[in-house]
Amino acid sequence: MSKQADLIVGLQWGDEGKGKIVDHMAQTHDYVCRFAGGHNAGHTIVVGEKKYALHLIPSGVLNPEAKNIVGNGVVLSPVDFIKEMHQFENLEGRLYISDKAHLLLPYHAEIDRARERMKGDKAIGTTGKGIGPAYGDKVARVGHRVGELHEPRKLAEKILAHFEMNRPVFEAMGVETPDPQQLYHELVEYKEALEPYITDTTLLVWKALDEGKKVLLEGAQGTMLDIDHGTYPYVTSSTTVSAGACSGLGISPKAIGKVTGIAKAYCTRVGNGPFPSEDFGEAGQRLRDNGHEYGTTTGRPRRCGWFDAVAMRHAVRINGVDQVALMKLDVLDGFDEVKVCVAYRVHGEEIDYVPYDLEDAESVYRIYKGWDRSEGARNFEDLPQEARDYIESLEELIGCRMGIISTSPEREDTIVR
Ligand code: IMP
């Protein structure tokens, strides 16, 4: 029987600190595979003096032994991908792109931004990268796949026909039809840069699993941004939960082994949409400052608030989480008290599950005594008693063990229980 893959998934609204855990695990895995999202995701990795910005290329790129797969569930912007590739040398033989991944082309980003402008105060607050329109085209069956780059002439014709058919829509949004020659030349450039990496990645992952290789599945964004299970319509357009790894790579649910869910010790969200445990006061600002909560992809300040145990219980169940990695515990250091959302009040009624619409949900808080310093702790026993109580109480509330606790950005400052 083939081995199972390990999976990393975000449990909140993205930005949980998956990077630190994925980078660490990528050192010990033979394959690292992205299964959803696009260049809306992002994290920075510092190795010695050098800084690398990763948006689409899996984190295994920094392990010279690892092979990196961009799965069919991803939407790939060739321009941005090629830029990202330039940070690295010798990618051939260790980077593979699914021929079934969908292309995200410049007009998708233009449409994304035009739609946001038109929505005014109802805007989703997207990253403006074109994610929604690219996935929209995929589902509407008018998208283009990476495999079509093999024949740029044919692809250019199809793109132009799409513009012709939808002319009034594009015009209303102020999106210009590409110049045929320029479009063709761009597609040829994409082909030349990407062709060596394009392949059937499903077969590759199957083979890796059959050979007993260590395979890591790297999720992007978080559960509350999932197209089905998040706070729709204030979500991204992909399946960010564990199940997305099956469809986004072509593996069966039985091929998924240990699921590690990543959560911060508090909560953040970028963009609009409900966030019941958001703190608009001093505490929220302090979390933002202490946690350096500004977007990696867009630089936007993140909205900050308290750990939401109700949403987390929902996420643990949906993703089949075996262990939670609790990140950035040290950001809570020095607070007199720390709050946790333990239920929602919706129209006067208290509920302990995530309802259809979180818009009207208010947080019901439990208050914990704060602690001075957890920063740098490497053993659970070294944490202040109040921090241990906080973690043990969270485990009970969410029904899952916190097997990893991170107490600073440093790789070594990690408690493994
Ligand atoms: P889109 O994915 O650009 O369409 O944005 C949709 C929503 O998802 C917006 O609220 C974004 O802020 C959010 N989002 C997308 N990617 C990320 C991410 O990597 N971290 C946090 N939020 C994200």
Question: Can you give the pLDDT at residue 32?
Answer: 97
Is the predicted pLDDT of residue 1 greater than 60, yes or no?
A: no
Is the predicted pLDDT of residue 244 greater than 60, yes or no?
A: yes
Question: Can you give the pLDDT at residue 44?
Answer: 82
Token pair of 300 as six digits: 């936007």
Question: Can you give the pLDDT at residue 202?
Answer: 98
Nearest CA to ligand 1 atom 8: 236
**Cα torsion for 15, 19, 21, 27, to the nearest 10°?**
170
**How does pLDDT run across 144-189, given as a tens digit for each residue?**
999 999 999 999 999 999 999 999 999 999 999 999 999 999 999 9
Is the predicted pLDDT of residue 297 greater than 80, yes or no?
A: no
Nearest CA to ligand 1 atom 2: 236
| CA–CA gap between residue 196 and residue 219 (Å, rounded) | 25
Nearest CA to ligand 1 atom 15: 40
Average pLDDT over residues 315-339: 98
- Ligand 1 atom showing the smallest separation from residue 225 Cα: 8
| CA–CA gap between residue 199 and residue 69 (Å, rounded) | 10
Average pLDDT over residues 84-92: 94
Tokens 């070294």 identify what position? 382
Output the CA 164–ligand 1 centroid distance in Å: 30
Query: CATH 1.10.300.10 region(s) of the chain?
Result: 102-196
Q: What is the architecture of the domain spanning 5-76+202-416?
A: Alpha-Beta Complex (3.90)
Residue of 12, 43, 44, 236 with the most ligand 1 atoms within 8 Å of its CB, for mutation? 236
Token pair of 405 as six digits: 């606790």
Average pLDDT over residues 313-338: 98
Under the banding of pLDDT at 50, 70 and 90, the label for residue 374 is very high
By annotation, the residues acting in catalysis are 15, 43
Mean of the per-residue pLDDT values of the chain: 96
Output the CA 235–ligand 1 centroid distance in Å: 7
**How does pLDDT run across 202-240, given as a tens digit for each residue?**
999 999 999 999 999 999 999 999 999 999 999 999 999
**How does pLDDT run across 22-67, given as a tens digit for each residue?**
988 999 999 999 999 999 998 888 777 888 889 999 999 999 999 9
Is the predicted pLDDT of residue 359 greater than 90, yes or no?
A: yes
Tell me the three state secondary structure of residue 125: coil
Query: CATH 3.90.170.10 region(s) of the chain?
Result: 5-76+202-416
Residues having CB closer than 6 A to ligand 1 are 13-15, 40-41, 124-127, 129, 131-132, 221, 225, 234, 236-237, 270-271
Question: Can you give the pLDDT at residue 2?
Answer: 63
Residue of 43, 80, 126 with the most ligand 1 atoms within 8 Å of its CB, for mutation? 126
Alpha helices in 1-46 (DSSP H): 18-26
Pick the CATH number of 102-196 from 3.30.365.10, 1.10.10.60, 1.25.40.420, 1.10.300.10: 1.10.300.10
Burial 244-276 (b: 16+ CB within 10 A, else e): bbbebbbbeeebbeebbbbbbbbbbbbbbbebb
| 8 A C-beta contact, residue 333 and residue 373 | yes
Q: What percent of the chain has pLDDT over 70?
A: 100
Tokens 């239920």 identify what position? 343
**Among the listed residues 101, 171, 81, the one whose alpha carbon sits nearest the alpha carbon of residue 143:** 101
